[in-house]
Amino acid sequence: MITIERLQKTYNKFTLSINFIHFEETRTTVIIGPSGCGKSTLLRLIAYLIKPDAGKILIDGIELDAASSRQAKKRMGYVIQEGGLFPHMTAEENVVLVARRMGWDAQKMAHRLHELCEITSISPDLLHRFPLELSGGQRQRISLMRALMLDPPILLMDEPLGALDPIVRVKLQSDLKKIFQRLKKTVLFVTHDVSEAAYFGDEIVLISNGSVVQKGTISDLLKTPKNAFVTSFIRAQRPPDELFRNL
Ligand code: ADP
Ligand code: MG
């Protein structure tokens, strides 16, 4: 589904450099690593919000470039930590923005909104509120609705739960996991939280200082770490006991 080859992106002294990586269809891959290691840069490159200095990204075999990016962007939904909703638009206006620009008629839009409210457990009366009139958890559900509006096969999520308090976060984690499975999306999920990575990730990609250190299941990272950094990163966060159960 998504293949990365010899990708490079440099900012001053920082370089993200990925020789090869492949993300498989309908799986959730968690991208994890310390702050500043390049997680958001990787997601922005895939979303074609920024361009690589070298190398390429292929989506279903088609190289991302200026010409192909318009179509590719319709195949990807993107959710960031703060939601990224436009504050001067209601929740509904945010969700339907792209579909409206694409000329969807009112009936098709209303039907899709209804579906999305059901999928994300959002009460339709919240759709008329502005982002600041919603709780953090509701805002992230609306951001997810926006990302899902065109029913893209790929979801890019950059620390979508990072700003939420623990109780709201746990509920959204469990809802999100069910949504990913039900809709069979290919998900790239960024977090710096090891237990969240273990919870979501069919596979985990651990990045350090712009390079992939290890790709594998949480069990691989725990049992056969590539180097001492893998172990120290995973153990440092002292993940809950359930993470180690059945391993
Ligand atoms: P992460 O998401 O893992 O915390 P980022 O991908 O945001 O890390 O950043 C990786 C590195 O690239 C950091 O050193 C950051 O300062 C730098 N960086 C990211 N975006 C920019 C930018 N637009 N201009 C300059 N430096 C940037
Ligand atoms: Mg980031």
What digits encode the pLDDT tens for the residues 175-218? 999 999 999 999 999 998 999 999 999 999 999 999 999 999 99
Closest CA to 149 of 103, 97, 185: 97
Nearest protein Cα to ligand 1, atom 7: 40
Task: Decide if pLDDT at 245 tops 70.
Answer: no
Task: Decide if pLDDT at 140 tops 90.
Answer: yes
Question: How distant is the alpha carbon of residue 65 from its chain centre?
Answer: 21
* Domains of the chain, residue spans: 2-75+153-245, 87-151
pLDDT at 243: 58
Look at 16-20, 100-104, 239-243 and tell me which has the smallest mean pLDDT: 239-243
Task: Decide if pLDDT at 28 tops 70.
Answer: yes
Averaged pLDDT score across all residues of the chain: 93
Q: What are phi and psi of 160, to 5 degrees?
A: -65, -20
Please give the CATH superfamily to which domain 2-75+153-245 belongs: P-loop containing nucleotide triphosphate hydrolases (3.40.50.300)
The residue-averaged pLDDT of 98-112 equals 95
Task: Decide if pLDDT at 25 tops 80.
Answer: yes
What count of residues does the chain have?
Answer: 247
The answer to whether 225 and 214 have CB atoms below 8 angstroms apart is yes
Task: Decide if pLDDT at 114 tops 60.
Answer: yes
Strand partners, 30: 189, 204
* CA triple 40-45-48, angle to 5 deg: 125
Instruction: With cut-offs at 50, 70 and 90, classify the pLDDT of residue 173.
Output: very high
Helix (H, G, I), strand (E, B) or coil at 186: strand
Q: What are phi and psi of 192, to 5 degrees?
A: -115, 10
Q: What's the gap in Å between 198 CA and the centre of ligand 2?
A: 19
Nearest protein Cα to ligand 1, atom 18: 11
Helix (H, G, I), strand (E, B) or coil at 215: strand
Pocket of ligand 1 (CB under 6 A): 11, 14, 33, 35-41
Looking at residue 57, what DSSP letter applies? E
Task: Decide if pLDDT at 67 tops 70.
Answer: yes
Environment of ion ligand 2 (residues, CB < 5 A): 39-40
In sequence order, the 6+-apart residues with CB closer than 8 A to the CB of 186 are 1, 2, 23, 24, 25, 26, 27, 153, 154, 155
pLDDT at 237: 73
Q: What's the gap in Å between 24 CA and the centre of ligand 1?
A: 26
Q: Encode burial over 76-88: b for 16+ CB neighbours within 10 A, e otherwise.
A: bbbbbbbbebeee
DSSP string, 16-27: EEEEEEEE-TT-
The answer to whether 131 and 87 have CB atoms below 8 angstroms apart is yes
Q: What's the gap in Å between 161 CA and the centre of ligand 2?
A: 12
